[in-house]
Structure 1
């Protein structure tokens, strides 16, 4: 007999149909996440490269801030905007006349703002990836549940008919095994792409962290080498 999965699905019981439909929904949503992340990460990578190139060419922080407002997808731009806002608050609060120890203490809120912004951006970019991990781990067990249920149904049919011939057992067993195959077919791509995009996210985080470190060092050097008017007056 020719193996027809669609016909087997139509002839299956409600439990098997429910399991297959659940796997189908998980598979469709997993592939949606895959294509969404592919498009998003490409745009993020491009936006990050453009922002960093323009940032290091900017003449001052005010000009860089205008550039950052236009780079909505670049994590580095979000980190810069958060740190820049904190720097503006610090300058307004202190009036530019600080002792050295006060300047050092003033860098801590700026560093925390940059770290918090970076964490938020990475969390945003990593959204939906846990679903791929859950699909990869749960789908084989869901398929296995369908297989066990199908085999139980086959043995029940044997008991009802009082016959253990291959013609009685084979359809139910093959139907049950198809569910396991479906579970694996859903799980394998989900695991592969989860690992792939997790690595991509780690790369994005590393590049953003490197930019944040360079930017903080730049601000720190400028901030600490300003004329210390308060100390001079004393």
Structure 2
């Protein structure tokens, strides 16, 4: 594997960095979303129980134990006395949009790598072909033996770029789908709590 990596030329290092970034963001995002799921459940189950018992102060205090992306819209639920129903709904809508944007943080890295990795691989392809022509020029001969090293580098770089891109695109689409589901769940849970208030 190490020999294959070296055979791909210098372009393999940026591709390796891209791959590591994709996996770092992936594991961080999975950890974050799993913890957020626990907070969503806590906010809804405990918050619902407290609101049914009319324990508004304790329900507000619940915001200190959940993630800031959830606590901000959650606290907006308790501003109903100061605002009209329409103003209240609009303010909650704005807080939920902020939460939605916060959930997408760092996802752009995977998306960018997914779209740019094939071009990084293609650059490696071009460099490999240039080396092949330089080998022909230096030896004054043509044939497979002369160009084999350059073509091998070109093909390995191309394959590596495609692998990194495919991996990144699959993970990007997975997170987009999961974040849509999380956003819907947060919105629905907030509206259920709003009905109780």
- After TM superposition, give the deviation of residue 116 of structure 1 in Å: 1.4
Alignment of 1:104-143 (within 5 A): 106-143=84-121
Given the superposition, is the C-alpha separation of residues 6 and 27 from structure 1 closer, same or farther in structure 2, using an over 3 Å criterion?
closer
- The CA deviation string for residues 149-186 of structure 1, in whole angstroms up to 9 with x for no partner, is 21122112212211112211111100111111111221
2:49 — aligned with what? Answer: 57
Alignment equivalent of 1:146, drawn from 109, 121, 124: 124
* Selected match of 2:169 from 191, 199, 214: 191
Aligned residues: 194
Asked whether the equivalents of residues 48 and 193 of structure 2 are also in contact (C-alpha less than 8 Å), the reply is: no
Counterparts of 2:37 and 2:115, CA distance in 1: 29
CA distance in structure 2 between the aligned counterparts of 1:3 and 1:49, rounded to whole angstroms: 46
Against the structure 1 CA distance between its residues 66 and 3, is the aligned structure 2 distance closer, same or farther, given a 3 Å change threshold?
Answer: closer
Shift of 1:142: 1.2
**Does residue 78 of the first structure (1) align with residue 59 of the second (2)?**
no
Residue 21 of structure 1 deviates from its aligned partner by 1.8
The question of whether the paired residues in 2 share the 8 Å contact of 1:111 and 1:216 is answered with: no
Question: Which runs of 5 or more structure 2 residues have no equivalent in the other structure?
Answer: none
Please point out which of 68, 80, 85 is paired with 1:87.
80
Distance of 1:40 and 1:173 partners within structure 2: 43
1:102 — aligned with what?
none
- Measure the CA separation in 2 of the matches of 1:45 and 1:28: 26
Indicate conservation of the 8 Å contact 1:47/1:73, yes or no. no
- Does the 8 Å contact 2:5/2:12 carry over to 1? no
Matches within 5 A, 1:206-221: 206-219=184-197
Q: What TM-score, normalized by structure 1, do the two folds share? A: 0.76
Question: Which one has the largest radius of gyration?
Answer: 1
CA apart distance, 1:126: 1.1
Matched with 2:21 is 29
* Secondary structure of the structure 2 residue equivalent to 1:22: helix
Change in Cα spacing, 1:5 to 1:192, as seen in structure 2 (3 Å) is: same
Q: Is the 8 A contact 1:48 1:74 kept in 2?
A: no
- Match of 2:33? 41
Matching residue of 1:69: 64
